[in-house]
């Protein structure tokens, strides 16, 4: 998933002394110096935790003076001296914030987490000092009120509209009493989201399944056992250790014959944040839901979902719920049959008890192998990480002429990270690209794209972005390189699509650059890339056996494609259940529930395909919506699937490597960022608004 970190901030007077007393430190602070690195990339090797707070304070003071200068300008407000100047303010703070919060996600420690807790509420307050500044808003409003006479370009019009709406949506029209309460709410929310993420990471890192009896490893592939032995060795333990990190957890749930241990691991994973300890997230969730609703109502909206969706393609909770309901109605019977099929198969394999959640992946994998003569272990040797990376690089070369060059001179924040220079078809520099592939205790789970610097144009110079892809793929062992599952290959393509959205941006204003688009549009570039993993022409280019050099056989590719819709009904309903849960929390219009678990179960009740497991919870570790910016937006993944299936149909028609189609997608989607309404961009590429039919056909959800 993409992250955007922008803080437009003012410094409260009480912190000026602290900042001024740190002048000597600031002179030596690498965050406050010119970056003497290739492409002015972040000097990670020189940055220490103690540099961050002084840098934040200095940057906020600078941002404050920049805002004060706009307000003090005696000239009539114009697009240039108000809107563009505001857009260009706070650059130093943005640079420092992007480095700090990205490190907090990908390579954190106790010092970084402590700084995050300390600085986040202040940053929220400083941002409020801008959005709630009456004099500044009056200048913005004067320009906005005269917009029809300004002869602006479409991109300038979008910047002006976005700027005005941002002020209104963040409290500029509130009275003084309500502004005070708005400040309190946003400050508290900033603390709660940081705490939520820290709790999930700690709960994930703290658990270990320690196995000393080799018989308990039955069913596990050798590479999984080897990785578990390496983890045990690294922690000075005998035997094997399994963690809640995705590669370890998912492999154990899929292959381990020991049902009792699968149950134990499942319950550990699914109870994160719901253990009634110091890291319990239930009260955090209730506070966030209460404050989000109060904030929305303060601003004149019925619910947080109404507030969020005003700035989305879907536009309203009603439209989102109708969309989710329609997909649910078309997929639930397929999902139910998928589970029944696995349950029936499990009985033939000796399972005498009802199929449980910790059984599904295990028997599903065996059923898939039985039906298609296919499993992950058959394909992993063909998906060696370096080869897959080159294959994705080559795919973008075929489509857009992009080339990549590893540059070891670019500083990185961890020894596993590689930095690349990315060049366009004419040899012009496009972007820096960081690739960070494997799990660490210092890294959050999942996979995401982010940026350390976004693209913008200043004084006629195109300032190119610094993009990062952060994943948690299967790590190499002492005897094998990193061999990816097919799912990890599609995840890599997905995140690379986000990366392309950032790298190929060609706009003027940073706030409209790259992935700064509606949340239910941002997944189109990522999800369309996944389609190439279903195409034989690409698979046979990228999939080469890591030991023999053999190209993946036609027969195996045919099996991968044939199995593409295996249990698609189940996985569709599972994702819809997350969307229903998200909308339930954020479509509240009055009282907030007191029982997180009861509320969640009611929200997801109609999607349930297994018996309830006491002690487990989705919400208490649902970082997407309580720590990741997807509140009232998780539906966007399925929404964008409609877009990507419809869009890829054009590639299928014209050829999956067709340069004309690819250039149109780049010109009308990837390069445009948020400079136009997403539906307008989509129609320019596709020629019509999206249809749900291609998605239903691709997913096999048509009887």
Q: From residue 29, give the alpha-carbon distance in Å to each of 53, 54, 576.
A: 10, 8, 47
| Active-site residue (options: 195, 421, 495, 676) | 495
Closest C-alpha to 8, from 595, 409, 511:
511
Residues ≥6 apart with Cβ < 8 Å to 269 = 207, 244, 249
CA angle 688, 690, 696 (to 5 degrees): 140
697: annotated active-site residue: no
Strand 466-470 to strand 429-436: parallel, antiparallel, or no bridges (unpaired)?
A: parallel
- Nearest to residue 614, comparing CAs of 263, 339, 363? 263
CA distance 599 to 549: 53
d(CA 171, CA 301): 12
User: What is the number of alpha carbons within 13 Å of residue 27 lying toward its C-beta?
Assistant: 4
Residue 433 phi, psi dihedral angles, 5° rounding = -130, 120
The answer to whether 501 and 514 are in contact (CB under 8 A) is: yes
Q: Per-residue DSSP letters for 409-474? A: TS--SSTT-EEEEEE-TTS-EEEEEEEE-S--TTS-SS-EEEEEE--EEETTEEEPPEEEEE--PP
- Separation between Cα atoms, residue 3 and residue 449, nearest integer Å: 7
Composition of the chain by helix, strand, coil, percent to 5: 60, 5, 30
- Provide the H-helix boundaries in 373-406: 376-379, 385-400
Residue by residue, DSSP assigns 181-243 as: HHHHHHHHHHHHHHHHHHHHHHHHHH--EEE--GGGGTT--HHHHHHHHHHHHHTT-SSEEE-
**518: three-class secondary structure by DSSP:** coil
For the CA atoms of 675, 680, 682, 685, the dihedral, rounded to the nearest 10 degrees, stands at -90
- 8-state DSSP, 667: I
3-class DSSP assignment, residue 403: strand
The dihedral through the CA atoms of 556, 558, 564, 567 has a sign that is negative
Neighbours of 151 (CB within 10 A): 8
Cα torsion 93, 162, 85, 38 to 10°: value is 50
> Between the CA of residue 164 and those of 131, 144, 155, what are the distances in Å?
10, 7, 14
**CA pair distance 558, 543, nearest whole angstrom:** 13
Q: How many CA atoms lie within 13 A of 641 on its CB side?
A: 17
Residue 331 phi, psi (nearest 5): -115, -20
Q: What SS3 class is residue 404?
A: strand
Tell me which residues are annotated as active site: 495
């Amino acid at each position: 998933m993409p992250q955007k970190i922008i803080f437009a901030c003012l410094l409260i007077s009480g912190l000026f002394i602290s900042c001024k007393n740190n002048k000597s430190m600031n002179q030596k602070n690498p965050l406050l110096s010119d970056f003497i690195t290739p492409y002015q990339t972040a000097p990670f090797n020189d940055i220490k935790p103690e540099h961050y707070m002084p840098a934040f304070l200095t940057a906020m003071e600078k941002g404050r003076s920049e805002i004060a200068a706009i307000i003090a300008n005696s000239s009539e407000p114009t697009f240039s001296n108000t809107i563009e100047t505001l857009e260009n303010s706070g650059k130093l703070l943005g640079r420092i914030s992007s480095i700090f919060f990205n490190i907090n996600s990908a390579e954190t420690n106790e010092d970084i987490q402590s700084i995050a807790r300390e600085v986040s509420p202040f940053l929220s307050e400083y941002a409020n000092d801008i959005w709630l500044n009456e004099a500044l808003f009056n200048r913005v409003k004067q320009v906005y009120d005269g917009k029809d006479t300004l002869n602006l370009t479409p991109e300038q019009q979008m910047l002006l509209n976005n700027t005005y709406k941002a002020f209104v949506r963040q409290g500029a029209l509130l009275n003084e009493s309500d502004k005070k309460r708005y400040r309190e709410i946003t400050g508290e929310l900033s603390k709660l989201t940081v705490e939520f993420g820290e709790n999930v990471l700690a709960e994930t890192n703290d658990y270990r399944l320690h196995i000393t009896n080799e018989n308990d490893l039955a069913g596990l592939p050798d590479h999984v056992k080897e990785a578990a032995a390496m983890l045990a060795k690294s922690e000075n333990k005998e035997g094997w250790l399994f963690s809640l990190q995705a590669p370890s957890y998912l492999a154990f749930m899929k292959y381990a014959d020991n049902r009792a241990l699968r149950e134990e691991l499942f319950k550990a994973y699914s109870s994160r944040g719901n253990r009634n300890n110091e890291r319990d997230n239930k009260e955090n969730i209730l506070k966030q839901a209460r404050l989000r609703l109060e904030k929305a109502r303060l601003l004149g909206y019925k619910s947080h979902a109404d507030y969020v969706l005003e700035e989305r393609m879907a536009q309203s909770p009603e439209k989102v719920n109708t969309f989710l309901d329609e997909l649910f109605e078309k997929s639930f019977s397929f999902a139910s049959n998928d589970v029944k099929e696995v349950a029936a198969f499990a009985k033939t394999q000796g399972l005498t008890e009802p199929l449980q959640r910790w059984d599904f992946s295990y028997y599903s994998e065996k059923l898939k192998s039985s039906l298609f003569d296919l499993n992950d272990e058959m394909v992993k040797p063909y998906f060696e990480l370096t080869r897959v990376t080159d294959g994705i690089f080559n795919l973008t070369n075929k489509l857009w002429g992009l080339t990549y060059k590893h540059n070891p001179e670019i500083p990185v924040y961890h020894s596993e990270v590689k930095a690349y220079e990315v060049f366009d078809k004419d040899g012009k520099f496009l972007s820096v690209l960081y690739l960070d592939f494997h799990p660490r205790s210092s890294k959050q789970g999942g996979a995401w794209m982010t940026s350390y610097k976004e693209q913008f144009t200043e004084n006629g110079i195109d300032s190119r972005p610094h993009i990062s892809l952060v994943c948690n793929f299967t790590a190499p062992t002492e005897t094998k390189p990193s061999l990816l599952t097919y799912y990890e290959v599609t995840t890599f393509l997905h995140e690379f699509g986000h990366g392309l959205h950032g790298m190929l941006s060609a706009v003027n204003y940073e706030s409209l650059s790259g992935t700064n688009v509606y949340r239910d549009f941002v997944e189109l570039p990522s999800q369309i890339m996944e389609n190439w993993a279903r195409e034989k022409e690409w698979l046979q280019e990228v999939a080469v056996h890591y030991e023999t050099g053999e190209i993946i056989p036609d027969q195996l590719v045919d099996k991968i494609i044939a199995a593409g819709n295996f249990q698609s009904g189940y996985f569709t309903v599972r994702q819809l259940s997350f969307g229903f849960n998200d909308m339930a929390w954020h479509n509240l219009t009055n009282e907030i529930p007191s029982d997180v678990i009861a509320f969640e179960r009611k929200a997801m009740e109609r999607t349930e395909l297994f018996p309830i497991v006491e002690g487990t919870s989705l919400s208490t570790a649902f970082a997407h919506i309580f720590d990741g910016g997807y509140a009232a937006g998780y539906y966007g993944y399925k929404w964008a699937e409609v877009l990507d299936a419809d869009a890829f149909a054009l590639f299928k028609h014209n050829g999956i490597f067709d340069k004309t189609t690819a250039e149109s997608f780049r010109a009308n989607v990837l390069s445009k960022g948020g400079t136009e309404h997403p539906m307008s961009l989509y129609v320019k590429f596709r020629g019509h608004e999206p249809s749900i039919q291609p998605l239903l056909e691709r997913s096999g959800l048509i009887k």
